[in-house]
Structure 1
Amino acid sequence: MKLSGVPVLFLPGNAGSYKQARSLGSVALRKAEKNIDNKIHLDFFTIDFNEELVALYGGSLKRQTHFVHECIKVILKLYKGQASPPNSIAIIGHSMGGIIARALFLLPKFNPNIINLIITQATPHQGPVLPLDSYITDFYRSVNNYWMDHAVELQNVTVLSIGGGFRDYQVRSGLTVLPCPADDLNKLSLVVRYTCATDFVILLTIAFHIVS
């Protein structure tokens, strides 16, 4: 397998399918074909979480976080044959996938330099939509406390949270706001006015502008 683009990992959310990444890959391919002169293109990877209901049972969140860490290390190894292999990866997380992306930084042996961009869609960053067990509330508390306490160290990580607006009946917009210091310019939360099929187009457009 010969890879030469920017590695992007898609993390599905609660009961989400890894097949959702096909939409992202399709949009990325069309954009790359339209901008042939632009030497930057995106290589998409995804993870099959077996459509687990992590929003309803928090006991699986830590296990998924460790699994993602191992996957990232394997993905970066795929580029070792390049003259200038990438040393970092961008993550797009949908729903609970965005929480797992931020939870990676809490792992004892995690290298924070391997992630420079996190884009989340409809991710309840403030807290769980339904706090049904202590596992999920403890997980959220640990993640949000860590990002607040280590805000200075994490300033080089760009995080963008996109809320679905009033048409998102599952994750209300207030939950998608990133808990972070007000002066951290690399953390941005926004809410789109309409939730529609162009959500992935928005995500890809943002990703292309950031990595270009």
Structure 2
Amino acid sequence: MTYMFQRPHYIEIDLPPEVKDNFPQYGVYAYGEGEYSIHLYKGQFNGIPVLFIPGNGGSHKQVRSLASVAYRKSLEDDGPDFHFNFFTVDINGELGALYGPVLQRQTAFVTIAIRRILQLYDEGGVGNSGSGGVGNSGNDGNGDGNSGNGDGNSGNESSGNGNSGNDGSGDGNSGNDGSDNGNSGNESSDNGNSGSESNGNGNSGNKSNRNGNTVNGTRPVVKPDSVILIGHSMGGMVGRAVYTHRDNNGTITPTMVPLIITQATPHTRPVIVLDQQLNDFYDKVNAYWIMERDYDLKDVVLVTVGGGRNDIQVPTTRANTPVADISTTTADVPYCWLTADHQAIVWCRQLVLATVRALFDVIDTNTNKLSTNRTRILDVFNYHLVK
């Protein structure tokens, strides 16, 4: 299981009125934790975007395990000069594995979400100098490096009782515990700073890494032009389907979604077929991938992870697909080496750590974008998830 050291926040992303009218039951959220959430509430995004798509009966809050671990890793003293912004879609806990029409609707919404996420980096101003904006020297702190709370408190909204804010889906599974004491995880410094290490020029916010950069964006970052997709269960099929959906804005191109990671996704065929639309959805998606794998989709990296024999809902044979670049199970992941049930695969700490490490390693540090070297990406995922 995974642990949070600060209170998780799910920041709803504004959508156009016509989208709200067409999809009133859906939503797009950004994951924030502790003090960094303040920037996200202000629409200040400066990380590499990752979109998590929940599966059958799943919750958008299941993004928390991956997002929290990635956030903590970006705060390490010897950490990288970039971080990730994790987004997620609320699909209202729909049972996509049992009713085909909702998969088409979810695919349409996810394509909208992808475009909306990329728009945020225009609106939020990556590297802008606006008030409290991304790329500024600090949070809304004062000139002496304090974050605005003069008593030396961390300013992070830790949960006083260590609430876990369970990620579990509608079946009651959660698996994630909060911190035992509700601490925010950041140590307050002697000079009244916000608990994060000030870099000497008035910056506060989160801990600076070795180059003085923080997740709050003291270094201007390159505007992202792609989104990494991670799908659990049926969310993986929805992720693969985005290339097949066409709306008034066209289709999602492989350059917009160059990497898809699926967890316990039934790729080859539905677990159970209760209507023709479900069968048609699978036929359309799989046929498109087979037809375009060596053409339009040749640069897309697809990584599939199955739960193994403990996943009694999606057998390993269905969690793999011939069009995947890498297919593995949790039992094969280094330091995981155990099978996982259908829900636990989302918050299995060993798998979460391996996945997050792989995500950090596939980023080109010269551009702060996903590497365009396909061989490198495959080598990284083979290293972290297979060998």
TM-score by length of 1: 0.92
Residue 136 in 1 paired to residue 278 in 2?
A: yes
State the Cα RMSD in Å: 1.5
Listed as ranges, the gaps of 5+ residues in structure 1 are 181-185
What is the aligned counterpart of 1:90 among 228, 235, 238?
228
Whether contact under 8 Å (1:125, 1:178) holds in the other structure is yes
Give the corresponding residue for 1:6.
Answer: 48
Give the corresponding residue for 2:117.
Answer: 75
**Number of residue-to-residue matches in the alignment:** 207
Amino acid of the residue matched to residue 115 of structure 1?
V
Alignment of 1:1-212 (within 5 A): 1-34=43-76, 36-80=78-122, 81-82=125-126, 84-108=222-246, 109-112=250-253, 113-152=255-294, 153-180=296-323, 187-193=325-331, 194=338, 195=340, 197-198=348-349, 199-212=351-364
SS in 2 for 1:44: strand
SS in 1 for 2:225: coil
Greater shift, 128-137 or 44-53, is seen at: 128-137
Give the corresponding residue for 1:183.
Answer: none
Whether contact under 8 Å (1:58, 1:139) holds in the other structure is yes
Amino acid of the residue matched to residue 157 of structure 1?
V
User: 4+ residue runs of structure 1 moved beyond 6 angstroms?
Assistant: none
Greater shift, 139-148 or 27-36, is seen at: 27-36
Listed as ranges, the gaps of 5+ residues in structure 2 are 1-42, 128-221, 332-337, 365-387
Identity of aligned residues (%): 42
1:205 deviation in Å?
2.3
- Structure label with greater radius of gyration: 2
SS in 2 for 1:34: coil
In the alignment, the residues of structure 2 paired with residue 175 and residue 35 of structure 1 have an alpha-carbon distance, to the nearest angstrom, of: 41
Amino acid of the residue matched to residue 107 of structure 2?
T
SS in 2 for 1:78: helix
Whether contact under 8 Å (1:125, 1:179) holds in the other structure is no
Per-residue deviation, residues 39-63 of structure 1 (Å, max 9, x unmatched): 1211000010000001011111111
Greater shift, 20-29 or 42-51, is seen at: 20-29
Question: Per residue, is there more helix in 1 or in 2?
Answer: 1
Whether contact under 8 Å (1:178, 1:188) holds in the other structure is no
The structure whose RCO (Cα within 8 Å, separation 6+) is larger is 1
In the alignment, the residues of structure 1 paired with residue 78 and residue 52 of structure 2 have an alpha-carbon distance, to the nearest angstrom, of: 24
SS in 2 for 1:24: helix
SS in 2 for 1:40: coil
1:209 deviation in Å?
2.0
SS in 1 for 2:304: strand
In the alignment, the residues of structure 1 paired with residue 279 and residue 48 of structure 2 have an alpha-carbon distance, to the nearest angstrom, of: 34
Q: 1:207 to 1:37 in 2, by over 3 A?
A: closer
In the alignment, the residues of structure 1 paired with residue 235 and residue 300 of structure 2 have an alpha-carbon distance, to the nearest angstrom, of: 17
